[in-house]
């Protein structure tokens, strides 16, 4: 079996991939994740997932490299990850009662065979209306600094949401596993001995 590499430094993506594959390597891709001028959030997620896979694939030509990225948008405007408490608080207040679209993309690349697969899942997340006091309490308890949409839906953040609409529940955490598993099956990559 060919080696699998996750092109990511995300602990969440590592945990997600471990649900599917027992053994894989992790290499941080160190790419520029900036959005390009005029680029939609959805296109940005696909481009950056591809960029991550491509970067690691170039020095690991025989391996299957998995790159993934997630973006979010509110009313067509891309949302950034907050870098401090003030940004996180302001973002949570802005998102209260709003619907946010998260775009979770994955790319699988093998440089040697020139195989390239990609998929994207859009998740519609409805934040409930909450107070500034609730936002502050959440930030103090969970500290989602650096989390897209300022929410950890796998933790207490779920309490700030009204609904999550997606055909893939793993996609909101950072990587669409249903789409990825389809790609891996097409490549005949073993799933925990199946």
65 dihedral zone (left: phi>0; alpha: psi -120 to 50; beta): beta
How far apart CA 37 and CA 3 sit, in angstroms, is 36
CA-atom Rg of the chain in angstroms? 17
Orientation of helix 85-95 relative to helix 132-142, angle to 10°:
130
For residue 67, the cross-strand partners are 7, 107
Q: Per the residue annotation, which of 32, 37, 69, 168 is the catalytic one?
A: 69
Handedness of CA 169, 172, 155, 135 (dihedral sign): negative
How far apart CA 191 and CA 174 sit, in angstroms, is 20
Of 118, 104, 109, 107, give the one whose Cα is nearest residue 168: 104
How many other CB atoms sit within 10 Å of the CB of residue 153?
20
The verdict on whether 190 is a catalytic residue reads no
Which residues are catalytic, by number?
69
């Amino acid at each position: 079996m060919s080696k699998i590499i996750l092109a990511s430094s995300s602990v969440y993506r590592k945990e997600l991939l471990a649900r599917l594959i027992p053994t894989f390597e992790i290499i941080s891709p160190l790419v520029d994740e900036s959005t390009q001028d005029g680029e939609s959030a959805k296109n940005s997620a696909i481009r950056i997932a591809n960029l991550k896979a491509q970067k690691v694939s170039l020095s690991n030509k025989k391996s299957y490299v998995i790159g993934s990225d997630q973006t979010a948008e509110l009313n067509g405007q891309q949302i950034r990850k907050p870098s401090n408490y003030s940004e996180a608080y302001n973002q949570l207040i802005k998102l209260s009662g709003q619907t946010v679209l998260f775009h979770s993309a994955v790319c699988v690349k093998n440089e040697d065979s020139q195989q390239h697969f990609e998929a994207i899942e859009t998740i519609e997340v409805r934040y409930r209306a909450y107070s500034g006091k609730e936002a502050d309490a959440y930030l103090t308890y969970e500290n989602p600094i650096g989390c897209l949409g300022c929410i950890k839906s796998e933790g207490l953040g779920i309490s700030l949401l009204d609904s999550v609409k997606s055909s893939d529940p793993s996609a909101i955490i950072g990587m669409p596993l249903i789409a990825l598993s389809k790609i891996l099956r097409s490549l005949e990559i073993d799933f925990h001995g199946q």
